Amino acid sequence: MLARASELFLPTLREPPSDAEAASHKLLVRGGFIRQVGAGLWTFLPLGWRVHQKVIQIIREEINAIGGQEMLCPVLTPAELWELSGRITIPQVFRLKDRTGRDFVLGFTHEETMAFHARELQSYKQLPQVWYHFSTKARDEPRPRGGLLRVREFIMKDSYSFDRDFEGLDKSFDKHKQAYDKIFERCGLEVHFVEAESGIMGGKESSGYLAPTGSGENTLIRCENGDYFADYDAARGIPRAPGFPPRLEAPTEIETPDATTIESLAALLGIDPASTSKAMPVVAGDRVVLALVRGDDRLSEEKLVTALGVAYRPATDAEIRDTFGAGGGSIGPVGAKVDVVADDTLREGQFVAGANRDGWHLRGVEAGRDYEPRFADIRQANAGDACPNCGGKLEAQTAIELGHIFKLGTFYSEPFGAKFVDEDGQENPIVMGSYGIGPARTMAAIVEQHHDDRGIEWPAAVAPYDVHIVVIPGQEEHAESIATSLSVAGLDVLVDDRDARAGEKFADADLIGCPVRVTVGRKVAEDGTVDVRERAEGEDKAVSVSELVSTVRERLG
RNA sequence: CGGGGCGUAGCUCAGCCUGGUUAGAGUGCUGCCUUUGGGAGGCAGAAGUCGCGAGUUCGAAUCUCGCCGCCCCGACCA
């Protein structure tokens, strides 16, 4: 395949758009891969679409390899489907009406539609199934950002597995996991599989794939020794041990005027903030619950939801005073007539806690002796915590979530009545899983991980073209025949035949980032050689035209 | 949805505070000359509803109000 720069719509820019911050945003726009149409709405220009298609093809091959069957569901779906699952109430749902006033939803995933089709599965003999499609998703995002990192409309590969039981689901899940590992590896990405929250998807267990990058919205917690990776929200770090004051036989009141923050309290008492406890009153359902973490820790909202099993909200000032008889900065677990969920770090030792009396705290408060909590892991892990596997130091790194896989169970099949009959003639709900990957995000992550100050360094598997030929003015005829021979050999070739200076062409070639560059200059007429350079390496090497095809193939790996 | 910022040529921006001929620069674009292995130089040229609407004024890119769009932080979130 041969493309000529003189004919391509390839609008490269010398400067990045003023509103771009992420490297992928800047370089994809500058390189003429994408253009913004509105907030979170992007057009893929010819080169960008080629890369997107290459990513899609890799995903397709790997999902086909685990038995996935490609199909295509509509973007526009009747609102009734979303009422059945209950997801109609999610704020991000794009809703609209047709001319007769009927309600529709622009899908943001396709669990509902796929469960609808799964009603045609009737027998255990038809299971398992894996169905997938590449389709456009719409999300009414409150805040799109970062180029392709967070958008309102995007193409997603989502596959759905249908099994007769949870054992089957585990197998389908593992197959996808393996497929995803291969996909990201083929894309040249460093990606880590981590536990994550189910969020709006519904279902039991979910896991994300995080690519560490320079820009992104997620945080990857990783051990310096490389044996532990986790999503920030779910990470389990081991905090340092506090410096405890001498042990007390019983809690002792101490006056702490104006000390309503941990910092002021620790300073006033001259103690380690880690030897205090922090009380966060929340309302779950119709009851008040006191969440207790160490003074130097932050409460993880996600972990607390998991521990409580339901969503919650912070208690209001009035509710706090009503329940504890004191203000927010002076409350504690001792004597409080509410359930207490204490973080595991509070199991051992004596801590300073609020006395449920304005301006007073208690020293020497001990779990088990002075209050009866339920223990759970509800603290947010921090960089600097010790690794739960090896004790090494945990680090935090910005990341992009490229994929998310869920064990949905019967969350959708039950309301949709997607059932099958087993060997004994019994009806059972189909057990589902869902598995998403965003090709555009993947593309952005590749740029984040593969670029330098001059431009992109595409891995060969996803590059828009294999070879970028820079034609030095005066060598057009030689270049044309070289381009043709590379193309005939099965390589994708971009030949820069524009009437432009060499420097400009080199700069564009670096920006666009095809893996191999061939410069056809004066030497081709003198000794029959051209210069071959790998984008990621930056060294020109003279290669005779007769060996060019094999050399380029070799360089592409 | 809360806070902040921006909107002037394809792109990056100046001009606005302190209203006043025909609205500027760099880059990009077109033509010609020169040049030709890392965005070279020269000459000539095209290109702007100054986001939209109202208002104040003899006069508005500039002042006031409203709206819209976009970006950043937060909240929210695959």
- For residue A144, say whether its CB is under 7 Å from any atom of strand B: yes
Here the ipTM equals: 0.94
Q: What is the pLDDT of residue A416?
A: 96
Residues 426-485 of A with CB under 7 A from strand B: 436, 438, 441, 454, 472-474
Q: Taking phi first (over 0 means left), then psi (-120 to 50 degrees means alpha), and beta for anything else, what does residue A40 get? A: left
DSSP state of A238: B
Q: What is the pLDDT of residue A197?
A: 55
The CA–CA distances, whole Å, from A267 to A255, A352, A421, A438 equal 14, 13, 67, 48
Q: What is the pLDDT of residue A120?
A: 97
**Fold assignment, A252-376:** YbaK protein (3.90.960)
d(CA A289, CA A299) in angstroms, rounded, equals: 14
Q: What is the pLDDT of residues A476-527, one digit of tens each?
A: 999 999 999 999 999 999 999 999 999 999 999 999 999 999 999 999 999 9
Q: Which residues of chain A fall below pLDDT 50?
A: 198-203
Dihedral Cα A304, A308, A309, A311, nearest 10 deg: -70
Strand B nucleotides below 7 A of a protein CB? 1, 10-13, 26-28, 35-40, 69-78
Nucleotide nearest to A520 (CA to C1'): B37
- Select A465-556's CATH number: 3.30.9.10, 3.40.50.170, 3.40.50.1370, 3.40.50.800: 3.40.50.800
- Among A161, A164, A116, CA closest to A421: A164
Nucleotide nearest to A540 (CA to C1'): B37
Q: What is the pLDDT of residue A204?
A: 55
The domain limits of chain A are: 21-235+397-448, 252-376, 465-556
- For residue A386, say whether its CB is under 7 Å from any atom of strand B: no
- For residue A531, say whether its CB is under 7 Å from any atom of strand B: yes
Q: What is the pLDDT of residue A188?
A: 97
DSSP for A53-104 reads HHHHHHHHHHHHHTT-EE----SEEEHHHHHHHTGGG-TT-EEEE-TT--EE
Q: What is the pLDDT of residue A200?
A: 44
- Select A21-235+397-448's CATH number: 1.10.10.10, 3.30.565.10, 3.30.930.10, 3.40.50.720: 3.30.930.10
Dihedral Cα A77, A81, A85, A87, nearest 10 deg: 40
